[in-house]
Amino acid sequence: MTDKTMTADEVVSRLASGMTLGIGGWGSRRKPMSLVRALLRTDITDLTLVSYGGPDVGMLVAAGRVRRLVAPFVTLDSIPLEPHYRAARERGAFELTEVDEGMFMWGLRAAANRLPFLPVRAGIGSDVMRVNPGLRTVTSPYEDGETFVAMPALRLDAALVHVNRADRLGNGQYLGPDPYFDDLFCEAADTAYVSCERIVDTAELTKEAPPQSLLVKRLHVTGVVEAPGGAHFTSCAPDHGRDEDFQRLYATTPWAEFSERFLSGDEADYRSAVRTWQEEQG
Amino acid sequence: MTDVRWTEVSRSEYCVIACAEAWRGAGEILASPMGPIPSVGARLARLTFAPDLLLTDGEAMIVRPDGTPEGWLPYRQHLALVSGGRRHVMMGASQIDRYGNQNISCVGDWARPKRQLLGVRGAPINTLNNPTSYWIPRHSRRVFVEKVDMVCGVGYDRVAEHPGTARFHRIPRVVSDLGVFDFATPDRSMRLASLHPGVTVEQVREATGFELTIPDEVAPTREPTPEELRLIREVIDPADIRRREVAT
């Protein structure tokens, strides 16, 4: 059995400029932020990001690492509009493939099922068709003859997700209320990297949690990173909620200043910088 | 129990009633309200005239009005439920036009927006699959526009070009802080259906950036019953969150 544990820096050493990366979670919820921070420490750029976007997108577009974004939204949830994303979009810093939430899911499902596309009743009549002139439609071959959008597969070079627990083999477990689409991201990707709050023995995964909490299967996983607080400042229920105070700081601080103070060192430096800031707040 | 019958009904409470009415007769479907006043409205409907409604907690649970979970609805299942059509969503709109085309994506040219907003979210799939109503807390010419900058939610004119795809499309109502609007006109363009008490037709016309159909007789938005007022004020929204959205 292969021990797949590695560090965040080892994960990003396997990524390269120009890749298509899928990032799990949803909005400002269970985002693999420690992997995103590790990515920001590299020179990797020219990325295509595929994400139900939150601060993962905000940070990577602010840092100029993104050539194209595929997303139905970018939000911080409790702060509806992601300020760094907005600024980057308004200065035309990257290309956008804007699709509907359902189309996005069908794209991941198509990739996971090795299909070139899946039909979806969404997009037609909307300007999603205008801003994505490459989108094609498909007509039902049955009596109804309905026309659907043929949502192309969102195949990923790599997926990055964060879960509550994992074992060393890559079996990933979520303990919060929503799996989001993290298993789909892993299945849609050639390689998948799972960070987790805590690595535990395989037997411990189902000691107190039901088997259906085992979201990600090891055959889809390339690397496992133990990253306590790895989703910070996004939520990772039930281990921790969203750090609203810190998120507010992120949203109101100019990117260069935020990046200088919190992202110039490694993950341990990040945590210590966050602690220092929290102490300053009293 | 306070006797609430003699205190004045606020505009925010008429808005709650107007939103709640969207789910009258809806049966056993999911109510998906977005924003405080539609949320209070959905719970009011569930507690009174639409007892079979399902409510979400905005996360992964289906809950009773008191918050007790009665089901699981993570995003992936929610999206499947949308396609199945057993849902009536009330969304927000940064812009809406006379045919009900809605925009929450960006203001200005999409390629280089003047103001980037949320993104299309689920508006395209919502409008093609289940009834979609809209809630607009500040009725103005900036929101009620001649033409939206990016069609996210699909309106009646756009959908008419795709009759085969459009079989489940329906926009039952638009509720604003001034009144209730529907599309009960021959060309399915927006019509003033009721005015909240204290609002004039002129006020609505002034705040709308396109020509509305205005019937000769416009009914007032109905009064809440004393029991509905009690539920709003004492059970559903004792913290008066509704007033933060509509101040009067």
> How far is the C-alpha of B198 from the C-alpha of A149, rounded, in Å?
46
Q: Measured between CB atoms, which of B61, B79, B154 is closest to A102?
A: B79
Note whether B243 contacts A: Cβ–Cβ < 8 A: no
Chain B CB within 8 Å of residue A120 CB = yes
* DSSP states of A21-41: EEE-SBTTBS--HHHHHHHHT
Nearest to B128 among A73, A124, A131 (CB): A124
Residues of B in contact with A126 (CB under 8 A): 120, 123-124, 127, 151-154, 158
Q: What is the distance, to the nearest Å, from the Cα of residue A221 to the centroid of all Cα atoms in its chain?
A: 15
Residue A5's DSSP bridge partners are A224
Residue in B89, B182, B194, B90 with CA at minimum distance from that of residue B135: B90
Distance between CA atoms of residues A173 and A171, nearest Å: 7
Q: Do A191 and A220 meet the contact criterion of CB atoms below 8 Å apart?
A: no
Distance CA A251, CA A258 (A): 9
Which residue is closest to A148 within chain B, CA to CA?
B165
Q: Pick the residue from chain B with its C-alpha nearest to A82.
A: B118
Q: How far is A130 from chain B (nearest CA, A)?
A: 9
Establish if B151 touches chain A: CB-CB under 8 angstroms: yes
Q: What is the pLDDT of residue B27?
A: 96
Mutate to test the interface with B, among A100, A138, A185 (most CBs of B within 10 A): A100
Please state the ipTM of this predicted complex: 0.95
DSSP secondary structure, B58-90, as one string = SSSEEE-TTS-EEEE--HHHHHHHHHHT-EEEE
Q: How far is CA A130 from CA A27, A71, A124, A135, B202, in A?
A: 25, 16, 10, 9, 36
Q: DSSP string covering A159-187, please?
A: EEEEEEEE-TTS-EE--SS--TTHHHHHH
d(CA B109, CA A91): 12
**Ranges under pLDDT 70 in chain A:** none
Report the interhelical angle of A244-252 vs A55-62 (nearest 10°): 30
Q: What is the pLDDT along chain B (248 residues), one digit of tens a residue?
A: 455 555 799 999 999 999 999 999 999 999 999 999 999 999 999 999 999 999 999 899 999 999 999 999 999 999 999 999 999 999 999 999 999 999 999 999 999 999 999 999 999 999 999 999 999 999 999 999 999 999 999 999 999 999 999 999 999 999 999 999 999 999 999 999 999 999 999 999 999 999 999 999 999 999 999 999 999 999 999 999 999 999 98
Q: Residue with structure tokens 């933060």?
A: B244
Is B52 in CB contact (< 8 Å) with chain A? Answer: no
Rounded to the nearest angstrom, the minimum Cα separation between A273 and chain B is 30
Closest chain A residue by Cα to residue B127: A122
